[in-house]
Structure 1
């Protein structure tokens, strides 16, 4: 019997590679959990590879070929599925984000990527590395704007964001840029495209003081949580970890202003920035 054909790079390589993985696993007669044990990963991780939510790394491809007897198919094709238009180390999270049906995010220090304007993104990218060429900053910014296009759909994905008031008061790019950024956020909220709340400075200590929270849900794969730090980021699928971070997000929502009061605060700050007043 002929083996599977190599993937066509012009198609959706990751989705096709995942479909081939599911086919090979079922032909072998083993479950996702059983295959995961052979690779020393969880069954949910295998499910995410099969759905195309997670990228297949070469080392996993080698182990899959050995476990499933696929004659090097996954090693030959994981390179095509690994190509990304996003910068490392955030590319896997950005690609998972594009497939999510629901995204819940708390941003403590800056306006999150999906809510940024080009000018705000450009200022943030320049701050990440003041020494890189302008072309690199533009490339990063274009990648960020490409991610934002997923909001072009009127209802999907569900985006629920809790913004820390500190991120709204940090002048990133100057007052004109901030005014535009906050007007953009209020516009999304008024069009009912996002659920947006502000965690006020007056809330005091809260459940996520140590960092950002980002949770993603999918139609045919287990949920993920994304941890991001300075020049680093990683996805986690451990159910207990995901459940704990979901609880953390729920606590943040409980401490945040209502949607109506959040919108009032954002629009007042936008007006302050636009009129050169000190918020």
Structure 2
């Protein structure tokens, strides 16, 4: 795909009567960078550069549309396949053990997280990965946006990745995202103890054709699960995590407390109250939906404007 991208750039540049140096000037990169792209050598182009090339060459979004496939080539087969599934999913359910999920990361937080990779090959590769992550977020604002349900381990809130300023902005982003009707954020407190997903993060994808896949991920590995019987097992694990997590309103109170620097300031419910709220959450599909605080809204009755 990188070779195809480079060939298209070279053909469009030649048709436009531009030298590599002239195209570099128009896209604000050195001519050797254009050479690397056309020869599919060196670092892959960032999304920003793909857009600049597209505009400079009048490619009518051809290069922008090719770019995701160029980027995915750097990933293993299972990872590329997961990314393809995620782009089509109508419902995404995630448990994040260590960091905020990529779909809800700010650019500064994403740069701090991705910059921790010990195998990162320089600043240009880092920017390439940040651009890709930000591009994947665009779907959350599109007409076909998925329903996104996220469970954050309390550790995600307590670890100030990138420093306190970056973390504060990231927590504010979580609060803002949770205002959307298609995004739900819950927090799994430390006092819930051990659970079946402690080894890493978990994602369940629900696809338009009714099929489902699961994906587990650690710091240096990922595993795509497609067998229905195994996907069902991970769905049960996710449901248990959701039942143990705080309801959305209480979860956002905890996020707000973390943003204000008071990690223990959130008003957590008692264990008995939490058990009752968990039962309501697990039963919501049969009796009506829940308000953010856990109280059931009977079918046929909805809050007024």
- Pairwise same-fold verdict (TM > 0.5): yes
Kept in 2: contact 1:94–1:147 (CA 8 A): no
Tell me by how many angstroms 1:119 deviates: 0.4
Unaligned runs of 5+ in 1: 1-8, 11-79
Which of 187, 192, 203 lines up with 2:181 in the alignment? 192
What CA distance in whole angstroms lies between the structure 1 residues aligned with 2:142 and 2:172?
A: 20
Match of 2:216 in 1: 227
What CA distance in whole angstroms lies between the structure 1 residues aligned with 2:121 and 2:171?
A: 27
SS in 1 for 2:98: coil
Which of 139, 163, 169 lines up with 1:180 in the alignment? 169
Q: What CA deviation, in whole Å up to 9, does each residue of 1:127-170 have, x standing for no partner?
A: 01376311111101001111111111367301101000101111
What CA distance in whole angstroms lies between the structure 2 residues aligned with 1:165 and 1:230?
A: 18
SS in 1 for 2:186: strand
| Shift >3 Å, 4+ stretches | none
Q: After TM superposition, list the pairs within 5 Å mapping 1:102-181 onto structure 2.
A: 102-129=91-118, 132-153=121-142, 156-181=145-170
Match of 1:250 in 2: 239
What CA distance in whole angstroms lies between the structure 2 residues aligned with 1:138 and 1:196?
A: 28
TM-score, length basis structure 2: 0.60
SS in 2 for 1:190: coil
CA 1:154–1:261: 2 relative to 1, 3 Å: farther
Tell me by how many angstroms 1:115 deviates: 1.0
What CA distance in whole angstroms lies between the structure 2 residues aligned with 1:251 and 1:228?
A: 18
TM-score, length basis structure 1: 0.65
Unaligned runs of 5+ in 2: 6-65, 266-305
Q: After TM superposition, list the pairs within 5 Å mapping 1:1-279 onto structure 2.
A: 83-86=69-72, 87-89=74-76, 90-129=79-118, 132-153=121-142, 156-220=145-209, 222-272=211-261
SS in 1 for 2:211: coil
Q: What CA deviation, in whole Å up to 9, does each residue of 1:162-221 have, x standing for no partner?
A: 000101111110000100001001101023331110001111122322221111011125
Kept in 1: contact 2:213–2:225 (CA 8 A): yes
CA 1:155–1:179: 2 relative to 1, 3 Å: farther
Larger radius of gyration: 2
What CA distance in whole angstroms lies between the structure 2 residues aligned with 1:208 and 1:127?
A: 23
Tell me the matched-pair count.
198
SS in 2 for 1:186: helix
Kept in 1: contact 2:257–2:264 (CA 8 A): no
Tell me by how many angstroms 1:84 deviates: 4.2
Tell me by how many angstroms 1:231 deviates: 3.0
